[in-house]
Amino acid sequence: MVFSSSADDSGWVPSPFPGVAYNFLKLGGANPAVVALRKISAGSIMPPHRHPTVERNYLVSGRAQLLDGSIVEAGTYLEIAAGVRHGATALEECVFHDSYDGSLVWVEDSGQMTAVNSTGGFDTLGTMNAPNSSNLDI
């Protein structure tokens, strides 16, 4: 199966996270996976969260500060293991190329779970017990 999508301006979908939008390039398929562009407006925050799958990011443009205080710039590659708490603040508008090995689900520190559905929308799945925050923050 071949997936093809455009990254033009019409494809951006606002997320539940203020100042964060996604352009989904691939959703699902025989082997569930998500590939997307993620735009974070300058000054906006991708709040601390975890995923049940590996997340891979390539910062296409902009600069961001990670939870541990480190600054990442365009050209930086990040790979985040499943279950590791992470998040970022955009120091200037950022565009990330993201990929996930399975369904895209966010588990916020509050335990709130949000997922991307098969049409590129966002569904609230409910709340679970707040995750253990002792993992390394990145």
92-125 pLDDT per residue, tens = 999 999 999 888 999 999 999 999 998 899 989 8
Concatenated DSSP letters of 30-88: SS--EEEEEEE-TT-EEEEEE-SS-EEEEEEESEEEETTS-EEETT-EEEE-TT--EEE
Q: State the pLDDT at residue 136.
A: 44
Q: What is the pTM of this model?
A: 0.85
Please, what are the domains in the chain?
25-103 (2.60.120.10)
